[in-house]
Amino acid sequence: MIEISKVTKAYGEAVVVNDVSLSLPARGITSIIGPNGAGKSTLLSMVSRLMPMDRGRVMVDGLDVATTPGDVLARRLSILRQDNSVSSRLTVRDLVTFGRYPYSKGRPTVEDRGHVEQAIAYLGLEKLADRFLDELSGGQRQRAFVAMVLCQDTDYVLLDEPLNNLDMKHAVTMMKLLRRAVDELGKTVVLVLHDINFASCYSDHIVAMKDGKVVHQGAPDVLVRPDVLKDIYDLDIAVEEVGGRRIGIYYF
Amino acid sequence: MARSRAIPVLVLLGLLAVASMVAFMTVGARGRWDFILPFRGAKLAAMLLVAYSIAVSTVLFQTITNNRILTPSIMGFDALYMLIQTVVVFFFGAAQFAIAGPNIMFLAEVVVMVTFSGLLYRWLLSGEMRSLHLLMLVGIVFGVFFRSLSGLMQRMIDPNEFVTLQDRFFASFNTIHTELLLLAFAAVLAVTAVGWRLLHTFDVLALGRENAINLGVAHKRAITIILVLVTILVSVSTALVGPVTFFGLLVANLAYQVTGTSKHTVVLPAAILLAVICLVAGQMVLERIFAFNTALSVIIEFLGGITFIVLLLRRSVR
Amino acid sequence: MKGLVAAALLLAVLALTSVFVGVGDVSFGTLFGQEASGQAQQLLLVSRIPRTLAIVLAGMSMAVAGMIMQMLTRNRFVEPSTAGTAESASLGILAVTLLAPELPVFVKMLVASVFALAGTALFLRILRAVPLRSILIVPLIGIMLGGVISAITTFIAYRFDLLQSLNAWMTGDFSGVLRGRYELLWLSFALTVVAYTAAHRFTVAGMGEDFTTNLGLNYKAVLRLGLVIVSLVTAAVVVTVGMIPFLGLIVPNVVSMVMGDNMRRSLPWVALLGAALVLACDIAGRLIRYPYEIPIGTTMGVVGSALFLYLLLRKRRQLG
């Protein structure tokens, strides 16, 4: 369980995350949605200790992220940001192997190599495993990074807009894969998503942020409603039920 | 794939390095060996230390800044060291310089250097400056500023004392300050010992700050330690031969090219060997065959400047 | 207009100070008073006045040359010492000194300006290979190109034992200016006047090739005129007093911060402030370590790079 209490972050005058308290249940997919500038990515960065917070505390399974040693936390929680540019010339397999660094400190064992191949297969990257990252398309690179994070084999996986750069097919595959990781391996996945319909179809829990605050949260059928969405996005969004899922329509 | 190429490349570079060292010690030697060996030996030892320092400091600096075009000397590190030397002479006078002995002075300078560069570059590299080009330009102009300031202070020093400083300001592989050899060697050894224990983090740090933190590296601490190591290495090489702006850029990028990998266990030795080959063989050819004396540093500057422009253009095309 | 008069007055005060600062005893007393000596008048006419004039002329024309370059490359951080121009000029002087040392200074200067022109053209050529014109990559390339050119120059100078003279062209120094040895700078002043009359064209060219063509001006012709002026001015200054780094960069930037980029309006300011800055630096250089002199290249190096850093870091938010 991730417990966020009274977390605040400001840049000068601009308060980006304003006194947010939130607890995210273990096991399951939690999606954070909201308009641009709502503070979603900032919150995720603070939970994953990429960014120090001005005030407040975040506990992951009882470990305070601000004080727990980095390598202990790295076996518990992993984070992937959206813009990943790496200057090193690495193959996909090299990159995925880094996911084992918290365990082996750069000397991968036979067992580690097993994890690596498994993660590569999970993302369907077998054919690309020996290609260099700078030879891949944006979507393929994104999948390689997700494979690295999965290979890290942490209970908590935090992803900041993982569907960026992915075409429709790969976006669906990615969400299905995360769902499978939750159902089969018992992981806890926290996502920042822009597409409310992906959030609606795949999440167990949705958190909506606006202007640095959490404005709504709950199960998809509670959140994906015209009145609630209007409040979050300030936009008229019709909600239809398709195959038992609630789909928001906002294109016209 | 990369691994299979790495070993033959390293072996080949190793052989070339040994060959150039042997050639340096023997070619054109006339007269008594018991005179030639210690004389050339000291010079060779100094060149090895310089090659090692520049190669390691450049590769590590590029690792922590996540790019392959910035180097400590482009960012003005060695200009800062020269400025500190000038300030020391300015305030204590050349006489003091002679009394304390070069070793004590060197130690004092390194301490001041580590403090100052720690403050300045921690600030510059804190990530607030998002644009790499801005960072580079600021570094270069800082270099110019440090150089001009030491130029100004040299002029303000008594013209007689000025002479003792002046010869330190031009890179020369011919007039190496061999009196510092032992201490420089000790410094390099200490740096290597600390660096060795961090070796496994280098590859992870090269993935960038966020990925490194995700993988459990204490990023801020690691960066600080490496920056200190880099600073000491720059001080060593600058104290021995003076500033050589582009040498690091050349050997580091050559090393990435010939090894085709980013693994530090391969890149670091390759860069060191390449630096040794370029320096020792280059100096031998120029000195013994063409009888040029200070030309090596000028040639390095010429090639390095062109490399830099090419790298800049290629980066911006991508 | 009032401001300009004030700036001109400041310049006049600095110029007067410059005339009376120095080792030799020159004061109103020694010139016109009881103990008036021919020696002081001699010193004034042969050394002090020529020196002051040289400073004013060089300062004005280098600052304006920098401004023209910034207009033509549409980049705030370009000037003769960040575009390979000044370094090419020194290579030219070195070449002519080696091959035909007996030629008069004027011809040497012409050769130097041909080199400067070629170097700047090369710079512009390289810039065309930069697809996305990041503002800061331009001076980076220019500085490095300058470094490469001066490496060639140093190598040649070293081979032919001319490092000493090379140093003289690389660092600006007014201490050697005497009557009969600075008059070339009047040429650069004349070119500055030409630049003023063509100011509107440069302003238009600064808005881009398409814009210029749209207004019916020949962009290539304006570009060529600008480059020729810049090259001649740089060559003349480098030949007579040596390089004055960053002057053409900081003065136009400061002026543009205050009053924008209409060149007709800002050029007189750039010229006046350029001259005033060089005068101030030169006077300081003469006083700091009296009776020794610190050359202008050194003092301007400190002041110029500090101000350049300020400009870079001040704009951090906008650039980053």
**What are the boundaries of each domain within chain A?**
2-249
Query: Do the chains contact at A101 and B219, CB–CB below 8 Å?
Result: no
Q: Would you state the torsion angle of the CA atoms of residues A56, A60, A66, A67, taken in this order, to the nearest 10 degrees?
A: 130
CATH C-level class of C54-319: mainly alpha
pLDDT of residue C32: 66
Query: Do the chains contact at B216 and A98, CB–CB below 8 Å?
Result: no
pLDDT digits (tens, 9 = 90+) for A48-65: 988 888 999 999 998 999
pLDDT of residue C320: 34
Instruction: Give the separation between CA A212 and CA C40, rounded to whole angstroms.
Output: 76
For the domain spanning B2-317, the CATH number is 1.10.3470.10
Instruction: Give the separation between CA A200 and CA B76, rounded to whole angstroms.
Output: 54
Cβ neighbours of residue B47 closer than 8 Å, sequence gap 6 or more: B173, B176, B276, B279, B280, B283
Give the distance from residue A221's alpha carbon to the nearest chain B alpha carbon, in angstroms: 33
pLDDT of residue A29: 94
Q: Mean pLDDT across chain A, nearest whole number?
A: 89
Q: What is the ipTM of this complex?
A: 0.81
- Residue B100: band (very low, low, confident or very high) from pLDDT cuts 50, 70, 90: low
Q: Please give the backbone phi and psi of residue B277, each rounded to the nearest 5 degrees, phi first.
A: -60, -50
Least confident residue range of A76-90, A177-191, B237-251, C291-305: A76-90
Q: Is B127 on the interface with C (CB under 8 A)?
A: no
pLDDT of residue B1: 43
Query: Do the chains contact at B216 and A85, CB–CB below 8 Å?
Result: no
The beta-carbon neighbor of C305 closest among B133, B145, B301 is: B145
Is the separation of the CB atoms in C205 and C226 below 8 Å?
yes
Q: Which chain C residue has its CA at the smallest distance from B295's CA? A: C155
Write out chain A residues lying below 8 Å of B218, CB-based. 69-71
Q: Quote the distance between the C-alpha of residue B237 and its chain's center.
A: 5
pLDDT digits (tens, 9 = 90+) for C123-176: 988 887 776 556 788 888 888 898 889 888 888 887 787 877 777 777 778 877
Least confident residue range of B120-124, B167-171, B239-243, C297-301: B167-171
pLDDT of residue C81: 86
Q: Which chain A residue has its CA at the smallest distance from B209's CA? A: A50
Fold of A2-249: Rossmann fold (3.40.50)
Strand A2-11 with A55-60, pairing = antiparallel
Instruction: Give the separation between CA B187 and CA B166, rounded to whole angstroms.
Output: 25
pLDDT digits (tens, 9 = 90+) for B277-292: 999 998 888 877 776 6
Query: Do the chains contact at C302 and B149, CB–CB below 8 Å?
Result: yes
Specify the residue for token string 């010492």.
C81
Q: Please give the backbone phi and psi of residue C176, each rounded to the nearest 5 degrees, phi first.
A: -90, 5
Is the separation of the CB atoms in A114 and A193 below 8 Å?
no
Q: How many helices (H) and strands (E) does chain C have?
A: 16, 0
Specify the residue for token string 């007014």.
C174
Kindly list the residues of chain B whose beta carbon comes within 8 Å of any beta carbon in chain A.
1-2, 62, 66-68, 199-201, 203-204, 206-211, 213-219, 256, 260-262
pLDDT of residue B2: 45
The mean pLDDT of A171-193, rounded to a whole number, is: 91
Cβ neighbours of residue B49 closer than 8 Å, sequence gap 6 or more: B181, B184, B185, B188, B236, B237, B240
The mean pLDDT of B209-213, rounded to a whole number, is: 87
pLDDT of residue C109: 87
The beta-carbon neighbor of B156 closest among C140, C245, C289 is: C289
Write out chain B residues lying below 8 Å of C311, CB-based. none
Instruction: Give the separation between CA A218 and CA A31, rounded to whole angstroms.
Output: 10
Q: Which chain C residues in 259-278 lie under 8 Å from chain B, judged by CB atoms?
A: none
Chains A and C touch, contact meaning at least 3 pairs of CB atoms under 8 angstroms apart:
no
**What value does the CA radius of gyration of chain B take, rounded to a whole number of Å?**
20
Under 8 Å CB pairs connecting chains A and B tally to 80
HSE-up of residue C80 (Cα within 13 Å, Cβ side): 37
- Residue B318: band (very low, low, confident or very high) from pLDDT cuts 50, 70, 90: very low
The mean pLDDT of C56-60, rounded to a whole number, is: 92
- Residue C190: band (very low, low, confident or very high) from pLDDT cuts 50, 70, 90: very high
Ordered DSSP codes for B87-100: HHHHHHHHHHHHHH
Task: Tell me the C-alpha to C-alpha distance, in Å, between residue B269 and each of A106, B17, B251, B264.
Answer: 18, 11, 11, 8
Specify the residue for token string 């600058």.
B238
Q: Is C302 on the interface with B (CB under 8 A)?
A: yes
pLDDT of residue C30: 66
pLDDT of residue C273: 92
Whether C50 shows a pLDDT value over 50: the answer reads: yes
Task: Please tell me which chains touch A, using 3 or more CB pairs under 8 Å as the contact test.
Answer: B
Q: Is C134 on the interface with B (CB under 8 A)?
A: yes
- Residue A207: band (very low, low, confident or very high) from pLDDT cuts 50, 70, 90: very high
Give the distance from residue B2's alpha carbon to the nearest chain A alpha carbon, in angstroms: 9
Instruction: Give the separation between CA C46 and CA C29, rounded to whole angstroms.
Output: 18
Instruction: Give the separation between CA A143 and CA A26, rounded to whole angstroms.
Output: 24
pLDDT of residue B3: 52
- Higher per-residue pLDDT: B76 or B10: B10
pLDDT of residue C271: 92
Could you count the other beta carbons within 10 Å of the beta carbon of residue A251? 6
Give the distance from residue A101's alpha carbon to the nearest chain B alpha carbon, in angstroms: 6
Most B-contacting residue of C82, C91, C128, C136 (CB-CB within 10 A), to test interface: C136
Q: Is B305 on the interface with C (CB under 8 A)?
A: yes
Q: What single-letter amino acid sits at C91?
A: L
Q: Which chain B residue has its CA at the smallest distance from C150's CA? A: B302
Specify the residue for token string 């020196």.
C51
Give which of C48, A116, C145 is closest to B140, Cα–Cα.
C145
Instruction: Give the separation between CA B254 and CA B271, rounded to whole angstroms.
Output: 7
The mean pLDDT of C98-120, rounded to a whole number, is: 89
Is the separation of the CB atoms in A87 and A114 below 8 Å?
no
Most B-contacting residue of C143, C164, C171, C300 (CB-CB within 10 A), to test interface: C143
Q: Is A42 on the interface with B (CB under 8 A)?
A: no
The mean pLDDT of A23-52, rounded to a whole number, is: 90
Q: Running DSSP on this structure, what letter comes out for residue C82?
A: G
**What are the boundaries of each domain within chain B?**
2-317
Q: Running DSSP on this structure, what letter comes out for residue C45?
A: I
The mean pLDDT of B125-134, rounded to a whole number, is: 67
Query: Do the chains contact at C294 and B149, CB–CB below 8 Å?
Result: no
**What are the boundaries of each domain within chain C?**
54-319
Instruction: Give the separation between CA B172 and CA B263, rounded to whole angstroms.
Output: 32
Write out chain C residues lying below 8 Å of B123, CB-based. none
Instruction: Give the separation between CA C266 and CA B314, rounded to whole angstroms.
Output: 37
Cβ neighbours of residue A178 closer than 8 Å, sequence gap 6 or more: A29, A157, A159, A162, A189, A191, A202
Write out chain A residues lying below 8 Å of B62, CB-based. 87
The mean pLDDT of A143-172, rounded to a whole number, is: 90
Q: Is B136 on the interface with C (CB under 8 A)?
A: yes
Write out chain A residues lying below 8 Å of B206, CB-based. 86-88
Q: Which chain B residue has its CA at the smallest distance from A78's CA? A: B214
Task: Please tell me which chains touch C, using 3 or more CB pairs under 8 Å as the contact test.
Answer: B
pLDDT of residue B94: 64
Question: What percent helix, strand, coil does chain C show, rounded to 5?
Answer: 75, 0, 25
Is the separation of the CB atoms in C115 and C96 below 8 Å?
no
The mean pLDDT of A78-107, rounded to a whole number, is: 84
Write out chain B residues lying below 8 Å of A133, CB-based. none
Residue B112 burial (10 A CB sphere; 0-12, 13-18, 19+): middle
Dihedral class, residue B208 (left if φ above 0, else alpha if ψ from -120 to 50, else beta) = left
Instruction: Give the separation between CA C236 and CA C182, rounded to whole angstroms.
Output: 9
Q: Mean pLDDT across chain B, nearest whole number?
A: 82
pLDDT of residue C318: 45
Q: Please give the backbone phi and psi of residue C215, each rounded to the nearest 5 degrees, phi first.
A: -85, 5
Q: Running DSSP on this structure, what letter comes out for residue C68?
A: H
Q: Exposure string (b/e) for B241-254, b if CB count within 10 Å is 16 or more? A: bbbbbbbbbbbbbb
Query: Do the chains contact at B207 and A72, CB–CB below 8 Å?
Result: no
